[in-house]
């Protein structure tokens, strides 16, 4: 069960119910991937709501790895979710909201 107070969310990805969380290590991974200097820069990047497919892969992959899954971004790219592109963006938005705060997605 996902604990929202710890920033965890649950989502069905690749036909499995999974937990995702952006741990400090996962956030550091995203900072490196997006060339950000700090967590504020990372949050600001996603604040606009403009998320590309590669962004979604990286965020979902980092969230899965943060929760303990051993999965590469290439493997994440092959996983499907209900709702297609909208489903991926919903997962990313929910995870970012759980991590950085704001209204429930």
Q: What is the mean pLDDT of residues 79-104?
A: 88
Per-residue model confidence as pLDDT tens digits over 3-57: 888 899 999 999 999 999 999 999 999 989 888 778 887 778 778 777 889 999 9
Tokens of residue 48, six digits:
């606009």
Q: pLDDT band for position 102 (50/70/90)?
A: low
How far is Cα 98 from Cα 36, in angstroms, rounded to an integer?
Answer: 20
Tokens of residue 53, six digits:
């497919």
Q: Are 93 and 81 in contact (CB under 8 A)?
A: no
If one counts every other C-beta atom within 10 angstroms of the C-beta of residue 19, the result is 18
Q: What is the mean pLDDT of residues 67-88?
A: 95
pTM of structure: 0.89
């Amino acid at each position: 069960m996902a604990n929202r107070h710890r920033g965890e969310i649950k989502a069905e990805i690749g036909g499995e119910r999974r937990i995702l969380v952006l741990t400090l290590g996962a956030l550091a991974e995203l900072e490196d991937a997006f060339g950000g200097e700090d967590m504020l820069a990372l949050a600001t990047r996603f604040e606009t709501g403009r998320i590309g497919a590669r962004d979604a892969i990286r965020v979902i992959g980092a969230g899965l790895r943060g929760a303990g899954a051993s999965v590469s971004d290439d493997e994440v790219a092959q996983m499907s979710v209900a709702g297609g592109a909208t489903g991926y963006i919903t997962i990313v938005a929910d995870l970012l909201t759980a991590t950085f705060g704001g209204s429930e997605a």
